[in-house]
């Protein structure tokens, strides 16, 4: 819980990882390139006081994670969204055993989401059944640019993907977190394109599709799809730290999201360990849209409370203490279509 | 002088996604000229990108376009264009050296060509340029009804960077550039009825914000990765449209 100026906020960090990118786990040069890319994100967008050394960044371990999130970071509940990256790391990037054990030891604090890859075919379906039972899965994290053998990516609307979503439905895995990455076959088209999210969201209306990084670098395509599909949500991983280095850009991102998809379908996350939650939560509670950006209404207290925790708590059925709930709970079925247009001047 | 010509040629190569020249973005790491056969001059260029995992199709396009632009200069002999520090550097550099083309470079991962990709981003670039011009009109004339934007013509826009940029984007799409052409058109050149002006402008704004934000972030990451590049805080890309000077546009807008 975070408190400021007499207001209390229930905090759900909806996208965290426990990774191991140390040299002994790197399978090839791509393992180093991948963590170096993350570290550049970290160095580029963090306040100086929050910078980690490269060695700290390679691996954190469970103890440090618990401290950064729950002792120092105000977080009430956090959700693991692991990336496998088996072609880059011997034991994978996200540490399944360590993270799931941590979640099992702190079920009130942590939810473990796992992954699947439709290119694993029938065997992968059996594995998903086993994983759902073992981890008690409520959600999965999918990275469509995962390399596998000769393949460097897959689409959510591939026929095999549909088999997996049908199984998710059967197993009660209702939250599908999607991260679009750059390499996908064929290379002819825009690899960040999120049209496949549109197709599956229409065909699986009982599943929630949380598009991580709110579709960045294709914010406009995401907004256009999400405004029409009530089961498409936006995760703020990577977008949050723009508050510090590029506050006007962040204001425009959040302004566009609130305009197109509204306040009920946006989720806070630190993307730990890319960044730590403490400074992000403090900055977001203090954040306001600059006055000269008159095309956007100011962010309200209620909107901030929903984004920081209540929206994700609703998707994951997390108990929220009475005093931290809003008077009027968020709608079960969020509205679609752009909103706020008639109250606002257009520039 | 030859070096300046080479830089100018590279300046015609645009990052399709960010809609800016690779020379402005800092993507040209080095340029070397050496005497070649006869009167020819050999050129070696190294390109670099903000991350190892920038999309390989865009990386290929920029590398290939850079080689084509240099080849078009009458004095160039042997041309080497290499992309450094990318997850597909080996593949792309070998393909470019052999003039293997897109399909020859990527093999089974390539289906047809990258023209569709280029077209998608030319359309986005036009949409963003159009939004910049129309939002400037609105900021200069806050009382102007939104629906009337559908009647603004190219001759009504104040001269300047934004208008020139819009004309260039229209040329790239083959759209009408005559003074009486409507400003607010889709990629086929069709205008919008009054009730579609507001949603279309909002969509265009999201496109513009997305492109500008990506360009800003890419510059920042490039600087973090290669500290010798200019700091992005000094970059000239505004994160929002600055109000037009009233004197520049008052007479030109009805």
Q: How far is A191 from chain B (nearest CA, A)?
A: 7
- B220 vs A218, A245, A346: nearest CB: A245
CB contact under 8 A, B87 and A30: yes
Per residue in B8-37, pLDDT (tens digit) is: 999 999 999 999 999 999 999 999 999 999
Q: Percent of chain A scored above 90 by pLDDT?
A: 88
What distance in Å separates the CA atoms of residue B17 and residue B58, rounded to the nearest whole number?
A: 8
- What's the complex ipTM? 0.90
Per residue in A302-336, pLDDT (tens digit) is: 999 999 999 999 999 999 999 999 987 656 667 78
Domains of chain A, first to last: 2-324 (3.20.20.140)
- A188 vs B117, B214, B225: nearest CB: B117
Contact yes or no for B209/A253 (Cβ under 8 A): yes
The bridge status of strand B28-35 relative to strand B41-47 is antiparallel
| Mean pLDDT within B107-114 | 93
The domain B2-113 is placed in CATH, from the list 3.30.300.130, 3.40.50.620, 3.10.580.10, 3.40.47.10, at: 3.30.300.130
Contacting residues for A11 by C-beta, under 8 A, at least 6 apart: A1, A2, A74, A75, A76, A77, A268, A277, A281, A308, A309
Q: How far is A45 from chain B (nearest CA, A)?
A: 9
Residues of A in contact with B50 (CB under 8 A): 40
- A346 vs B138, B203, B224: nearest CB: B138
Q: How far is A188 from chain B (nearest CA, A)?
A: 5
Dihedral of alpha carbons B170, B176, B182, B184, sign: negative
What distance in Å separates the CA atoms of residue A45 and residue A194, rounded to the nearest whole number?
A: 25
**Domain boundaries in chain B?**
2-113, 116-249
Residues of B in contact with A246 (CB under 8 A): 213, 216-217, 220, 239
Per residue in B68-77, pLDDT (tens digit) is: 999 999 999 9
| Mean pLDDT within A272-277 | 98
Please determine, for residue A337, whether its predicted confidence score (pLDDT) is greater than 90.
Answer: no
What distance in Å separates the CA atoms of residue A283 and residue A298, rounded to the nearest whole number?
A: 15
Residue B199 pLDDT class (50, 70, 90 cuts): very high
Residues of chain A numbered 35-64 and touching chain B (CB < 8 Å):
36-37, 40-41, 43-45
- B221 vs A44, A242, A345: nearest CB: A44
């Amino acid at each position: 819980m975070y408190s400021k100026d007499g207001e209390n906020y229930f905090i759900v960090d909806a996208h965290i990882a426990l990774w191991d990118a140390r040299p002994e786990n790197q399978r090839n040069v791509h393992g180093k390139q991948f963590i170096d890319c993350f570290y550049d994100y970290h160095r580029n967008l963090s306040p100086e006081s929050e910078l980690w050394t490269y060695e700290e960044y390679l691996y954190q371990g469970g103890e440090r994670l618990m401290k950064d999130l729950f002792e120092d970071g105000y977080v009430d509940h956090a959700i693991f969204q692991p990336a496998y990256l088996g072609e880059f790391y011997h034991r994978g990037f996200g540490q399944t055993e360590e993270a799931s054990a941590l979640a099992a030891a702190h079920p009130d604090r942590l939810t473990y989401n796992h992954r699947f890859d439709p290119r694993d075919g029938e065997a992968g379906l059996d594995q998903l059944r086993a994983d759902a039972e073992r981890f008690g899965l409520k959600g999965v994290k999918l990275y469509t640019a995962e390399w596998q053998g000769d393949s460097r990516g897959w689409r959510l609307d591939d026929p095999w993907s549909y088999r997996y979503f049908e199984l998710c439905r059967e197993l009660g895995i209702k939250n599908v977190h999607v991260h679009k990455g750059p390499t996908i076959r064929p290379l002819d088209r825009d690899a960040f394109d999120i049209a496949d999210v549109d197709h599956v969201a229409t065909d699986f209306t009982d599943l929630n599709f949380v598009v991580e990084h709110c579709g960045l670098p294709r914010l406009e395509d995401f907004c256009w799809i999400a405004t029409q599909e009530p089961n498409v949500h936006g995760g703020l991983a990577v977008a949050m730290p723009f508050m510090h280095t590029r506050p006007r850009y962040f204001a425009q991102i959040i302004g566009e999201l609130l305009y197109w998809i509204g306040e009920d379908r946006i989720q806070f996350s630190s993307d730990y360990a890319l960044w730590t939650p403490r400074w992000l939560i403090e900055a977001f509670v203090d954040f306001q849209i600059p006055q000269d950006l008159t095309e956007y209404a100011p962010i309200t207290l209620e909107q901030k409370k929903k984004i920081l925790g209540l929206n994700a708590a609703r998707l994951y059925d997390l108990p929220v203490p009475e005093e931290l709930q809003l008077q009027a709970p968020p709608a079960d079925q969020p509205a679609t279509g752009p909103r706020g247009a008639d109250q606002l001047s257009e520039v | 002088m030859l070096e300046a010509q080479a830089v100018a040629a590279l300046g015609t190569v645009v990052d399709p996604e960010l809609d800016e020249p690779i020379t402005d973005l800092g993507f040209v790491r080095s340029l070397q000229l050496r005497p070649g056969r006869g009167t020819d001059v050999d050129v070696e260029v190294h390109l670099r990108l903000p991350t190892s995992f920038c999309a390989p199709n865009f990386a290929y396009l920029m590398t290939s376009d850079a080689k084509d632009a240099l080849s078009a200069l009458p004095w160039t002999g042997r041309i080497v264009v290499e992309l450094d520090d990318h997850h597909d550097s080996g593949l792309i550099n070998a393909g470019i050296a052999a003039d293997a083309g897109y399909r020859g470079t990527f093999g089974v991962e390539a289906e047809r060509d990258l023209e569709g990709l280029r077209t998608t981003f030319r359309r986005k670039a036009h949409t963003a340029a159009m939004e910049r011009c129309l939002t400037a009109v609105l900021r200069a004339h806050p009382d102007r009804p939104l629906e009337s934007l559908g009647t603004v013509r190219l001759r009504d826009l104040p001269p300047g960077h934004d208008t020139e940029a819009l004309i260039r984007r229209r040329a790239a799409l083959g759209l009408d550039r005559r003074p009486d052409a409507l400003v607010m058109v889709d990629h086929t050149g069709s205008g919008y009825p009054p009730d579609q002006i507001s949603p279309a402008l909002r969509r265009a704004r999201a496109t513009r914000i997305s492109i500008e934000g990506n360009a800003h972030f890419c510059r920042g990451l490039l600087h973090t990765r290669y500290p010798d590049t200019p700091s992005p805080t000094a970059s000239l890309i505004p994160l929002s449209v600055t109000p037009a000077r009233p004197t520049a546009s008052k007479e030109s807008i009805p």
